[in-house]
Amino acid sequence: MIDDATQTEIRRRLAAVEAEQHVRVLFACESGSRAWGFPSRDSDYDVRFIYVHRLNWYLSIADRRDVIERSLENKIDLSGWDLRKALGLFRKSNPPLLEWLQAGIIYRQEATFAARLRALLPRYYSPKQCIYHYHHMAKGNIRVYLKGETVWVKKYFYVLRPLLACRWIERGLGPVPMEFSTLVDRVTEPGPLRASIEELLAKKVAGVELDEGPRVPIFHEFFDQEMPRLEAVAEDMLPGTRADVGELDRLFCETVMQSDNNELDNVTGEKGANEIS
């Protein structure tokens, strides 16, 4: 759980971004280890958000930065994507964005926008795109953190989670959920591997320092078995047909226009049609 004071500070900082950048935050959630369910005592708050500019910002041929980032302050890390960028990535079935939409910790949410985007998930979700993303993530983390006899123990989660995500996709369970425990419950069978994962998770949640330590053989046996198998699964998946961009164009245009209308309402002292929940 995230305490009320921290949530209030996060919302204050989101409001400051809106005022400074002249944007409207449509959606903001927690990502990273806190959202996955195993934060450390000193874990940052990884706040990810989608925002929209006023209409005039989009009516230009100039290249404009479509990301807003704020330096880490009081363990709060803010990073957001412009609406057009977010919808373009949604069309490509971008796995982090799909996870955001299912997050259990939500700081800001414009209800109509979020509901419409979630309703479009089945049309734009690509199992092949997502399984390749998670497999590549696992491969990179093994190479960087888990090759020697002494390893960075907490990094096991950064391989276990994407490999379990691949299993989730392989079994046709849809977009991958944020919570690590959900993955463990649904795609690992009772036995030594699951027991070892749950033991490591219990240590992490209890605040045990999981820094450098000896390799855990059962995890490496799992990696050696699943990495090539899941790569073959990904290659055999049909690519699917990319859904038409029309629905996302409509959502983009209507959201931008609504943002302009809300801004006009604020200037004239009237209440906007869509409040953030």
Model pLDDT for residues 149-185, shown as the tens digit of each residue: 999 999 999 999 999 999 999 999 999 999 999 999 9
Residue 274's pLDDT is 36
Tokens of 158: 């950064």
* Contacts of the segment 66-72: beta carbons below 8 A, 24+ positions apart: 68/17, 68/21, 68/23, 70/13, 70/17, 72/44
CATH architecture of the domain formed by 4-125+242-268: 2-Layer Sandwich (3.30)
Residue 75: count of CB within 10 angstroms of its CB: 12
Tell how strand 106-109 and strand 67-73 pair up: unpaired
Residue 87 — pLDDT band, cuts 50, 70, 90?
very high
The model's pTM is: 0.90
Backbone angles phi, psi at 38, to 5 degrees: -145, 60
Q: What is the mean pLDDT of residues 72-90?
A: 95
Residue showing tokens 């927690």: 30
Residue 263's pLDDT is 60
What does the alpha-carbon distance between residue 158 and residue 223 come to, in Å, rounded to a whole number?
12
Which DSSP helix (H) or strand (E) runs through 57?
A: helix 55-58
Report whether 243 contacts 91 (CB < 8 A): yes
Residue 53's pLDDT is 97
DSSP 2: -
Tokens of 152: 């960075």
Q: What is the mean pLDDT of residues 5-11?
A: 96
Q: Give per-residue pLDDT as tens, 50-64.
A: 999 999 999 999 999
Counted residue by residue, the chain has a size of 277
The answer to whether residue 48 scores a pLDDT higher than 70 is: yes
Beta-bridge mates of residue 276: 110
Residue 12's pLDDT is 97
Picking from 133, 9, 27, the residue whose alpha carbon sits closest to that of residue 80 is 27
Residue 272's pLDDT is 35
The answer to whether residue 2 scores a pLDDT higher than 70 is: yes
Residue 271 — pLDDT band, cuts 50, 70, 90?
very low
Beta-bridge mates of residue 80: 49, 68
What does the alpha-carbon distance between residue 41 and residue 175 come to, in Å, rounded to a whole number?
29
Residue 262's pLDDT is 66
Tokens of 186: 């649904």
